[in-house]
Amino acid sequence: KAGVTQTPRYLIKTRGQQVTLSCSPISGHRSVSWYQQTPGQGLQFLFEYFSETQRNKGNFPGRFSGRQFSNSRSEMNVSTLELGDSALYLCASSFSGLGSYEQYFGPGTRLTVT
Amino acid sequence: DQQVKQNSPSLSVQEGRISILNCDYTNSMFDYFLWYKKYPAEGPTFLISISSIKDKNEDGRFTVFLNKSAKHLSLHIVPSQPGDSAVYFCAASAEYGNKLVFGAGTILRVKS
C-alpha cells in the first residue's frame, strides 16, 4: 500500500499571502488529521476530518482551515500568513475503525514565511 | 500546559544494550498511547501502541509498558541498533487516537 503523500514538500511564501497544502491518505483510511511542528511548540494538533466533516479541532486561530473530499483527500489552508506560521505541516491518516487507532504520517510540507 | 512530558531530551546507549525511553502524562482521560520514531526531514513513523486496559504490549524488539497509577509509560528497545538513532515521540489520546497530544521528544543515539 502506498503511504500518506503530501504536496508540495517545500514552500516559501511571503507574509500576508495564503497557502494551500494537500494530503492524500492511505487507501481505505477515512480519517485525516493535520499537525504543525515547530522547534518551540513541538507537534501540535490542528484538526481532524472524517467523512468530509471536521470532527476535532485544536487551539489554532481561524486563519487555519481545512476540508476533506469524498475520496478522503484533504487540504489545509492558511490565510494571511505570519512569520510564526513557518513550520513543518504534517498530515496523518487512520482507518478510524474499531480497534484501530494508529495514525500514519506523511513526510510533511516545510512552509517558510518570509 | 504540557499534558505529555518526555523529561529526557536525549539518551545515549551502546549498541546491543537496552534503550529505555520514558513518558509521563497528566490527563487521566487519556486512554490510548503511542510511540513514534522520527528521522530528520521525514514524518513520524508509528512504532507501537498500547490501550489503557493493558499494561504491556510487545512487538519484536519494542515493548511498551503502561503504569496507569503513576501516569507513566516507557518504551524498551532490546537490543538497540545504530539504525534506532532518531527522535522518539510519545503521544496520547483521549478520543481513541483521533487527536494526539505529543511529548517534546527524546533524541536517542545508539553508538556502535
- Copy the grid coordinates of residue B63: 515493548
Model confidence at B103, pLDDT cuts 50, 70, 90, reads very high
- Copy the grid coordinates of residue A72: 478522503
Pick B105's closest partner by Cβ from A33, A42, A102: A42
Rounded to the nearest integer, the mean pLDDT of chain B is: 94
Q: What is the DSSP string of A46-104?
A: EEEEETTEEEEE-S--TTEEEEE-TTS-EEEEE-S--GGG-EEEEEEEE--BTTB---E
- Copy the grid coordinates of residue A67: 476540508
Provide the pLDDT for residue A12.
98
Cα–Cα separations (whole angstroms), residue B21 to A57, A64, B43: 29, 33, 20
Contact: B98, A96; criterion CB under 8 Å:
yes
- Copy the grid coordinates of residue A13: 511564501
Provide the pLDDT for residue B75.
98
pLDDT (tens digit, 9 = 90+) per residue, A62-100? 999 999 999 999 999 999 999 999 999 999 999 876 556
Pick B49's closest partner by Cβ from A33, A96, A102: A102
Provide the pLDDT for residue A100.
60
d(CA A66, CA A96): 19
Pick A94's closest partner by Cβ from B41, B45, B97: B97
Pick B43's closest partner by Cβ from A58, A90, A94: A90
d(CA B6, CA B90): 7
pLDDT (tens digit, 9 = 90+) per residue, B53-88? 999 999 999 999 999 999 999 999 999 999 999 999
Residues of A in contact with B46 (CB under 8 A): 102-105
* pLDDT for residue B10 is more than 90: yes
**A16: closest CA of chain B, how far (Å):** 26
pLDDT (tens digit, 9 = 90+) per residue, A14-52? 999 999 999 999 999 999 999 999 988 889 999 999 989
Model confidence at B109, pLDDT cuts 50, 70, 90, reads very high
d(CA B6, CA A112): 28
Residue of A nearest to B34 (CA): A102
**Which residues touch A93 (CB under 8 Å, ≥6 apart)?**
A4, A23, A25, A26, A29, A31, A32, A33, A72, A103, A104, A106
DSSP single-letter state for residue A26: P
Model confidence at B40, pLDDT cuts 50, 70, 90, reads confident
Question: Is the CB of A31 inside 8 Å of chain B's CB atoms?
Answer: yes
Query: Which of B2, B4, B62, B98 is the best mutation test for A, with the most CBs of A within 10 A?
Result: B98
Cβ contacts below 8 Å, chain A against chain B, sum to 62
